[in-house]
């Protein structure tokens, strides 16, 4: 896995490098080209979780998942921002503007 991905996973979820690597390997096949999870996969996950927990309430996927930050990030990457290992948070991506 690329160093920056391990850094982001480690930082965001407070994972050690080995756990970040294993997590990346498990999650990667579920992601689309832009790093999001498809609505169909999310719906399946929600239904599975509801069944396991006994929850009967229906949920709107948009009430649970918000990809607006991902969209802004992709737009900024398209504008040519440079990712480096010095990132310390969302501000490093220039997304708070």
Does residue 53 fall inside a structural domain? Answer: yes
User: Do 8 and 38 share a domain, yes or no?
Assistant: no
89, 95 contact by CB (below 8 A): no
> Which of 59 and 4 is assigned the larger pLDDT?
59
Cα-Cα-Cα-Cα torsion 12, 17, 23, 28, nearest 10 degrees, comes to: 90
- 96 within a domain of the structure (yes/no): no
pLDDT (tens digit per residue) in 36-79? 788 888 899 899 999 999 999 998 888 888 888 887 877 777 66
- Does 71 lie in the same domain as 42? yes
Query: Is the residue at 25 inside a domain?
Result: yes
Residues 39 and 84 in one domain: yes
Q: Does 95 reside within a domain?
A: no
Q: Are 77 and 70 in contact (CB under 8 A)?
A: no
CA torsion, ordered 63, 69, 71, 77, to nearest 10 deg? -170
């Amino acid at each position: 896995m690329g160093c920056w991905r391990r850094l982001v996973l480690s930082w965001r979820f407070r994972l050690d490098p080995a756990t970040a690597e294993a997590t990346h390997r498990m999650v990667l096949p579920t992601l689309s080209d832009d790093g999001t999870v498809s609505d169909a996969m999310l719906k399946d996950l929600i239904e599975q979780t509801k069944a396991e927990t006994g929850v009967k309430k229906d949920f709107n996927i948009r009430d649970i998942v918000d990809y607006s930050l991902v969209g802004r990030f992709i737009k900024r990457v398209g504008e040519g921002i440079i990712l480096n290992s010095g990132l310390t948070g969302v501000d490093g991506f220039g997304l708070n503007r």
